[in-house]
Amino acid sequence: MDLDEEHWLSFGAGADVPIMYRTSYAYMANNGVEVSGRLARYENIRLSGLLWPEARERWSETIYASRESVGKGQIILFATQPDFRGYFHGGERLFLNAVLLGPGFGARQTVEF
């Protein structure tokens, strides 16, 4: 997965990380959605295992992790479970950033005095 190193969701993870991708869905973004992680390009999308050419074409450069504002809060989307059985720690870093940094960086809450 290729990451946007400037986005707070991918803080500390580097430019690209390996992930376990187990789904038949491919996600695309509308305007206003911040994309912090995309699956790799067509030629680099597979590390190992079976991947049909049709799936490789369908998934290349689709969204893995994104953030969208909703009211005063936000929705953070991961295409699959980011820490599936602890195989790859890169996705786990994104999940922890979402949980720990999300309330301060993504949501807009008013503080009453």
One digit per residue, the tens of pLDDT, for the chain of length 113 reads 888 888 888 888 888 888 887 777 888 888 888 888 888 888 887 777 778 888 888 888 889 899 998 887 888 999 888 877 766 777 888 888 888 888 878 676 655 65
First to last CA, the chain: 43
Residue 82 domain-assigned (yes or no):
yes
Residue 111 domain-assigned (yes or no):
no
Residue 8 domain-assigned (yes or no):
yes
Hey, is 36 helix, strand or coil? Answer: strand
Residue with tokens 């030629």: 43
Burial of 37 (0-12, 13-18, 19+ CB in 10 A): buried
Residue 30 domain-assigned (yes or no):
yes
Residue 113 domain-assigned (yes or no):
no
Residue 112 domain-assigned (yes or no):
no
Residue of 85, 97, 36, 45 lying closest to 63 (CA atoms) = 36
Q: In 39-106, where does DSSP find H-type helix? A: 53-59, 89-105
pLDDT of residue 93: 85
pLDDT of residue 83: 79
pLDDT of residue 112: 63
The model's pTM is 0.77
| Amino acid identity at 97 | N
Which domain range does residue 36 map to? 2-105
Q: How many domains does the chain have?
A: 1
| Amino acid identity at 63 | I
pLDDT of residue 16: 84
